């Protein structure tokens, strides 16, 4: 690591070593527990942990490559990259007929176009929001970023991969906040989502509507805008029960199961229960590396991808689980500090968006493993097995590290 490009980078005082080594530590943990999760159960020509090592090395190389590129490069190519990412998403819908999330390549390698789309969206939205005339006094100032996030959201939701698609609008919100959109406005932006979540409980929905109404009143919006916001909220509340009937059976099942996992202990609720049992049975220090019974007996579903956190928690207990959470907290803290230090507004926004992606994945994945959130299939960044995802996360880290090194550039 101390030769070539790495050596050049290493010399830079502003390379965030804490952030970098936290990522490396998570990569090592990931490889170790992909090994633990798959050593006995999955029979493939190349063991998955070996593949994961290759992906990690490729990811580090990509990280350094991204770090080496100037901010201006990403600024100028952002819209092109966004266009390409959208083309890939359309391509998979057309090519595979809407039934797959991957392009399949030889050697069992799968490429998931929703991964580069996350990076591209961050860059494109950051470029738009970094524009000098963005002030949120005009509707398009937040409608355009929302549209940028909405397009990949719809395309990925069509795949259908509802879990992954939610990330796209979620990326935009902290970026808007960073650009100066007040909190009340963000609540209003989220209000259609709140309306959907409360649509099945009239009382909660009514309360939510009152709060939104109060915010609209306090914000002294123009009448037209206020009416549009309230009508949208009401429309979402009314349409959600109708849309429910159009969901795929497995999607309904996942939501129902999340709400009441005991209802179907051997069906879909199985995953949630088995995962909490794995975590809980780990105790303070865990059952020991390679000793997890839930893992070894294969009761955990998708344990090397979706439920890798459960494997770690079972085998290394509270100690291991807190270590992973701590490492992520360090990455988040360092990334947000970098965002405040960087002077280039485009750079700031990119770092905020990248942080949002990492955070969202982390929370959704760990929340799922702990039985707090429905099963969405989002991986744990740097730890879960999987190439496309690991590479896209490494690109995000590369952006954060690289922009941080160039904090003085404007």
Q: How far is the CA of 319 from the CAs of 293, 314, 323, 327, 336, in angstroms?
A: 18, 10, 6, 12, 26
Of the pair 212, 352, the CB lying nearest other proteins is at 352
Of the pair 192, 317, the CB lying nearest other proteins is at 317
**110 phi, psi to nearest 5 deg:** -120, 140
User: Of residues 43-102, which lie at the interface with other proteins (CB under 8 A)?
Assistant: 43
Of the pair 64, 362, the CB lying nearest other proteins is at 362
- Tell which residue, 20, 120, 81, 86, has the closest CA to residue 397: 20
Of the pair 131, 241, the CB lying nearest other proteins is at 131
- Euclidean distance between CA atoms 4 and 6, whole angstroms: 5
Q: Which stretch binds other proteins (CB under 8 A): 139-147, 154-162, 205-213, 317-325?
A: 317-325
Per-residue contact track with other proteins, 129 to 168, x per CB under 8 A? -x-x------------------------------------
Of the pair 59, 320, the CB lying nearest other proteins is at 320
Does 331 bind other proteins (CB under 8 A)? Our answer is no
CB of 338 to other proteins, least distance (A): 9
**How do beta strands 103-105 and 109-111 pair?**
antiparallel
- Euclidean distance between CA atoms 79 and 89, whole angstroms: 15
Of the pair 226, 273, the CB lying nearest other proteins is at 273
User: Of residues 253-282, which lie at the interface with other proteins (CB under 8 A)?
Assistant: 266, 274, 276-282
Give the distance from CA 218 to its chain's centroid: 33
Which tokens is 203 given?
Answer: 């009382």
Of the pair 88, 366, the CB lying nearest other proteins is at 366
Does 30 bind other proteins (CB under 8 A)? Our answer is no
CB of 379 to other proteins, least distance (A): 16
Of the pair 91, 180, the CB lying nearest other proteins is at 180
Which tokens is 60 given?
Answer: 């580090």
Does 323 bind other proteins (CB under 8 A)? Our answer is no
Helix (H) or strand (E) holding 64: helix 48-68
Q: How would you classify residue 290: left for phi > 0, otherwise alpha for psi between -120 and 50, otherwise beta?
A: left
- Please tell me the total number of residues recorded for the chain in this structure: 410
- Euclidean distance between CA atoms 374 and 368, whole angstroms: 6
79 Cβ contact partners less than 8 Å away, ≥ 6 residues apart: 124, 127
Q: How far is the CA of 30 from the CAs of 24, 271, 312, 383, in angstroms?
A: 10, 21, 9, 4
Does 22 bind other proteins (CB under 8 A)? Our answer is no
Does 243 bind other proteins (CB under 8 A)? Our answer is no
Q: How far is the CA of 379 from the CAs of 91, 119, 214, in angstroms?
A: 23, 16, 38
Which tokens is 115 given?
Answer: 């991964």
CB of 357 to other proteins, least distance (A): 13
Which tokens is 61 given?
Answer: 């190389």
- Euclidean distance between CA atoms 35 and 21, whole angstroms: 21
Does 348 bind other proteins (CB under 8 A)? Our answer is yes
Of the pair 203, 284, the CB lying nearest other proteins is at 284
The single residue among 21, 283, 288, 408 that binds other proteins, judged by CB under 8 A, is 283
Does 291 bind other proteins (CB under 8 A)? Our answer is no
Does 108 bind other proteins (CB under 8 A)? Our answer is no
Helix (H) or strand (E) holding 143: helix 140-157
CB of 314 to other proteins, least distance (A): 8
Does 288 bind other proteins (CB under 8 A)? Our answer is no
Of the pair 123, 352, the CB lying nearest other proteins is at 352
- Euclidean distance between CA atoms 229 and 69, whole angstroms: 42
The single residue among 214, 227, 231, 297 that binds other proteins, judged by CB under 8 A, is 297
Q: Are 274 and 300 in contact (CB under 8 A)?
A: yes
CB of 252 to other proteins, least distance (A): 19
Residues lying near other proteins in the complex (CB under 8 A): 41, 43, 130, 132, 174, 177-178, 180, 266, 274, 276-284, 293-294, 296-300, 313, 317-318, 321-322, 325, 328-329, 332-333, 336-337, 339-341, 345, 348, 352, 355, 359, 363, 366-367, 370-372
């Amino acid at each position: 690591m101390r030769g070539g490009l790495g050596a050049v980078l290493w010399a830079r005082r502003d390379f965030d070593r804490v952030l970098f080594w936290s990522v490396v530590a998570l990569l090592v943990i990931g490889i170790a527990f992909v090994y633990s999760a798959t050593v006995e159960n999955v029979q493939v020509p190349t063991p998955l942990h070996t593949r994961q090592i290759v992906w990690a090395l490729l990811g580090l190389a990509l990280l350094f490559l991204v770090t080496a590129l100037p901010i201006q490069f990403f600024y100028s190519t952002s819209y092109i990259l966004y266009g390409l990412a959208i083309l890939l998403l359309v391509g998979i819908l057309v090519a595979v007929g809407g039934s797959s999330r991957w392009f399949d390549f030889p050697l069992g390698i799968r490429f998931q176009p929703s991964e580069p789309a996350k990076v591209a969206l961050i860059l494109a939205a950051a470029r738009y929001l970094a524009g000098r005339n963005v002030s949120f006094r005009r509707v398009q100032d937040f409608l355009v970023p929302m549209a940028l996030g909405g397009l990949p959201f719809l395309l990925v939701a069509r795949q259908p991969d509802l879990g992954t698609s939610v990330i796209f609008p979620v990326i935009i919100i902290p970026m808007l906040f960073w650009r100066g959109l007040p909190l009340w406005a963000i609540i209003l932006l989220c209000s259609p989502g709140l309306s959907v979540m409360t649509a099945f409980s009239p009382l909660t929905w009514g309360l939510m509507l009152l709060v939104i109404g109060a915010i609209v009143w306090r914000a002294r919006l123009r009448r037209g805008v206020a009416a549009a916001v309230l009508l949208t909220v009401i429309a979402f509340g009314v349409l959600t029960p109708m849309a429910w009937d159009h969901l795929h059976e497995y999607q309904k099942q996942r939501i129902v199961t999340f709400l009441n996992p005991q209802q179907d202990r051997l069906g879909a609720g199985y995953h949630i229960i088995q995962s909490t049992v794995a975590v809980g049975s780990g105790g303070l220090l865990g059952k020991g590396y390679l000793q997890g019974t839930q893992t070894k007996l294969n009761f955990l579903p998708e344990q090397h991808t979706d439920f890798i956190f459960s494997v770690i928690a079972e085998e290394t207990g509270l100690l291991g689980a807190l270590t992973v959470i701590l490492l992520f907290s360090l990455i988040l803290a360092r990334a947000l500090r970098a965002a405040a230090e960087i002077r280039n507004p485009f750079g700031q926004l990119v770092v905020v968006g990248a942080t949002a992606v990492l955070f969202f994945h982390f929370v959704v994945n760990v929340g799922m493993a702990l039985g707090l959130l429905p099963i969405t299939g989002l991986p744990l960044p740097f730890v879960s097995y999987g190439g496309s995802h690991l590479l896209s996360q490494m690109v995000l880290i590369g952006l954060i590290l690289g922009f941080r090194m160039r904090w003085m550039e404007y």
